């Protein structure tokens, strides 16, 4: 009988590992125009009216809390009319982040920014490489990307962005419960069968 229990437990653990380790991965390619302005419209940011540019890029993907994103960005955005600045931006700070850098913000809305994180400025630095974990939220969340600039009329070009996503699936409780119940049933059936024989 102990051998049957060990086999049943081993099979349950193996099945649970198979269910939970089967993560979904994908690649998202996007282009962030050098004129993309995270503060192009009012969404609660502290900067008031800003010089208009293009709306920030809404990444065409729905994320779940806990998703892992590995982001890489290349090329450059033309700013100040002639300079071509890479996604890491400049060494000075503008609006709490490196000037002329690739920045982002998490949103609970898909078409307009409704920040997930509170605080005066929930935007964050991405630059040429970043590893992010999608924050906790009540439902799906979305990522917006832009260039951290203040004058967009002389901007051009932009950043090519690749986002590698890994979504760890949540095992369905009903699947695990049914599997455990089935294994326990087999164990009980075998132990009764052995008792009858003895």
Question: Is the domain of 153 the same as that of 56?
Answer: yes
Higher pLDDT, 121 or 87: 87
How many residues does the structure list for the chain?
Answer: 198
Instruction: Report the alpha-carbon distance of residue 125 to residue 102 in Å, rounded.
Output: 7
The CATH number for 140's domain is: 2.60.120.430
Question: Is the domain of 44 the same as that of 17?
Answer: no
Question: Is the domain of 2 the same as that of 66?
Answer: no
Q: Is residue 41 within 8 Å of 109, Cβ to Cβ?
A: no
- When pLDDT is averaged across residues 39-60 and rounded to a whole number, the result is 87
pTM of the model: 0.75
Closest CA to 61 of 166, 170, 169, 172: 166
pLDDT tens-digit series, residues 105-162 = 999 999 999 999 877 789 999 999 999 999 998 889 999 999 999 889 889 999 999 9
- Reported as half-sphere exposure (CB side, CA atoms, 13 A), residue 154 has a value of 10
Tell me the torsion sign for CA atoms 28, 134, 70, 98. Answer: positive
Containing domain of residue 140, as a range?
A: 23-168
Number of domains in the chain: 2
């Amino acid at each position: 009988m102990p051998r049957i229990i060990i086999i049943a437990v081993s099979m349950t653990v193996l099945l649970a590992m198979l269910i939970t380790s089967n993560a979904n991965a994908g690649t998202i390619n996007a282009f962030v125009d050098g004129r993309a302005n995270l503060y192009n419209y009012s969404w609660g940011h502290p900067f008031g009216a800003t010089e208009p540019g293009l709306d920030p890029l809404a990444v065409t993907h729905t994320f779940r809390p806990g998703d892992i994103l590995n982001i890489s960005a290349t090329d450059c955005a033309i700013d100040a009319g002639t300079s071509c600045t890479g996604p890491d931006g400049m060494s000075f700070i503008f609006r709490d982040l490196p000037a002329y850098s690739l920045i982002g913000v998490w949103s609970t809305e898909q078409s307009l920014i409704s920040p997930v994180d509170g605080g005066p400025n929930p935007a964050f630095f991405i630059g040429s490489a970043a590893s992010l974990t999608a924050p906790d939220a009540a439902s799906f969340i979305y990522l917006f990307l832009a260039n951290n600039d203040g004058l967009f009329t002389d901007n051009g070009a932009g950043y090519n962005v690749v986002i590698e996503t890994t979504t760890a699936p949540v095992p369905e409780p009903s699947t695990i419960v049914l599997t455990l119940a089935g294994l326990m049933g087999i164990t009980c059936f075998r132990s009764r069968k052995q008792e009858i024989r003895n």
